[in-house]
Amino acid sequence: MKKKPWLLIGLMILALACVGCGSEPAPVPAPTDQAQTVTLTVAAAASLTDVAGEIQTVYSTKQPNVTIDYSFAASGTLQQQIEKGAPVDLFISAGKSQMDALEEKGLIVAATRKNVVGNELVLVAGKDSSLASFDGLKEDAVKKIAIGTPESVPAGQYAKDTLTTMGMWDQLQSKFIQAKDVRSVLNYVETGEVEAGLVYRTDAATSDKVKIVAAASADSSKPIIYPMAIVASSKHQQETQQFEDLLTGPEATQLFEKYGFTKPAQ
């Protein structure tokens, strides 16, 4: 018996209607109108620890979608980490030689290199110490002197240069306790583990447990400057440039001065 045409048409419509029955609904695209959050890793000299926190607060009000993640250590240590491929966006060193080494290897964007601030090397002792000058370091009462490790800590290199200029470096060799960074030097003096230490003026200003005995003369070592530069491997160079611009702007300059940093020698 022949099938009626209208029956065939009905079966075809039913079959088409069932195609895709039971399948999952198409996913709804996620909204794309929200600004992307970026985290910048800033490798900075340990002596910048205190001021960096305030700078971060100022920057967050201007760029709420950018988070600053600091890594503080001795400049030489940070240099080695960058050389080994650590994911760093901006490097701020307390010494010129560490930045020079990275530039020679093509690991920073040379065009972004700038001197941010300067500092001063000072001799510190405990609040009740009778130490009155650099010459006093030669006395028997001073048994231990803390300095940063010269090979990796710029403050330690400045200390070595200063004491060498004064003709005291060789004479004091047996008294030196070398520390991993300038903040560790300060801690040795604060806890009384040593009778004296050489730190930056900005570090001494953070402690109420030490006193500044004397300041090193400006010509006793190379100028103390803090260069910064964007790391060549940074994946966020535009955002890093914005942060670098802030560091040389008027708001950051006021904060640096508040903590005792000086204008850098150019």
Q: What 8-state DSSP symbol labels residue 95?
A: S
Containing H/E element for 42? strand 38-45
What would the two tokens of residue 68 be? 């600053």
What one-character-per-residue DSSP string does 162-195 give?
HHHHTT-TTTTGGGEEEESSHHHHHHHHHTTSSS
Q: What is the pLDDT of residue 265?
A: 75
Beta strands in 99-215 (DSSP E): 114-118, 121-126, 145-148, 176-179, 196-200, 210-215
Please give the domain boundaries of the chain with CATH numbers for all domains: 38-118+224-258 (3.40.190.10), 121-220 (3.40.190.10)
Query: CB–CB of 49/183 below 8 Å?
Result: yes
Q: Which residues contact 180 (CB under 8 A, 6 or more apart)?
A: 73, 74, 77, 148, 149, 152, 153
Rounded (5°) CA angle 157-48-66 = 135
Find where tokens 């929200």 sit.
34
Question: Of the candidates 105, 149, 100, 145, which has an alpha carbon nearest to the alpha carbon of residue 126?
Answer: 145
pTM here is 0.83
pLDDT in tens, the chain (266 residues): 444 554 444 445 444 444 444 444 445 444 444 568 999 999 999 999 999 999 999 999 999 999 999 999 999 999 999 999 999 999 999 999 999 999 999 999 999 999 999 999 999 999 999 999 999 999 999 999 999 999 999 999 999 999 999 999 999 999 999 999 999 999 999 999 999 999 999 999 999 999 999 999 999 999 999 999 999 999 999 999 999 999 999 999 999 999 999 998 76
Helix (H, G, I), strand (E, B) or coil at 254: helix
Q: What is the pLDDT of residue 249?
A: 95
Q: What are the φ and ψ backbone dihedral angles of 200, each rounded to 5 degrees?
A: -80, 155
Query: CB–CB of 165/124 below 8 Å?
Result: no
